[in-house]
């Protein structure tokens, strides 16, 4: 009897999409205005969804307070009010597309969960653009 428990969080950050070893022309062709060298930014909305059996004692799959604290420590404290390219080590050499940010967030939260729990993350870059990753 597997239930999925989801927690929503958010962080605000600046970023720039580009590839260092490409010409400026190619970066503009592929990344358009997302390649602004002065950066732009987003209010990122995150949903972390944890799947597992209900604990018969507590009635919880996971205590949401625990999930909330993991998200705060691993994601909000690391990414909020930051420049993803300059301030966050994972994106020093990894392009901070929504896809790559979702994969990094998945890795960071998954490492803190008990091993029997599955995780999917959904990351909204805007209300119109979002990505999901479940580690599969």
Question: For binding to a copy of itself (CB under 8 A), which residues are involved?
Answer: 1-10, 12-15, 17, 19, 30, 32-34, 36, 38-43, 49, 54, 57-61, 63-65, 80-83, 86-87, 94-100, 102-103, 126-133, 136
Distance in Å, CB of 8 to a copy of itself, minimum: 4
Distance in Å, CB of 33 to a copy of itself, minimum: 4
Minimal CA–CA distance to 101: which of 136, 127, 75? 75
Minimal CA–CA distance to 98: which of 42, 48, 54? 42
Mapping DSSP to helix (H, G, I), strand (E, B) and coil, where does residue 62 land? coil
Task: Single out the catalytic residue among 34, 76, 90, 99.
Answer: 34
Q: 6 near 47, Cβ under 8 Å? A: yes
Answer yes or no: 125 catalytic. Answer: yes
- Give the separation between CA 56 and CA 38, rounded to whole angstroms: 53
Distance in Å, CB of 11 to a copy of itself, minimum: 9
Answer yes or no: 81 catalytic. Answer: yes
Question: φ and ψ at 77, to 5 degrees?
Answer: -65, -30
Q: Which residue numbers are catalytic?
A: 34, 81, 125
């Amino acid at each position: 009897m597997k239930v999925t428990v989801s927690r929503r969080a958010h962080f605000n950050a600046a970023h720039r999409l580009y590839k260092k070893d490409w010409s400026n022309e190619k970066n503009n062709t592929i990344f358009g205005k997302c390649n602004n060298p002065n950066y732009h930014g987003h209010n990122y909305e995150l949903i972390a969804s944890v799947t597992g059996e209900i604990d018969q004692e507590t009635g919880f799959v996971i205590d949401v307070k625990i999930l909330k604290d993991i998200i705060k420590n691993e994601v909000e404290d690391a990414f909020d009010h930051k420049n993803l390219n300059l301030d966050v080590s994972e994106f020093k050499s990894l392009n901070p597309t929504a896809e790559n940010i979702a994969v990094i967030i998945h890795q960071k939260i998954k490492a803190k969960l008990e091993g029997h729990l599955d995780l999917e993350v959904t990351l909204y870059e805007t209300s119109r653009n979002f990505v999901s990753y479940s580690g599969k």
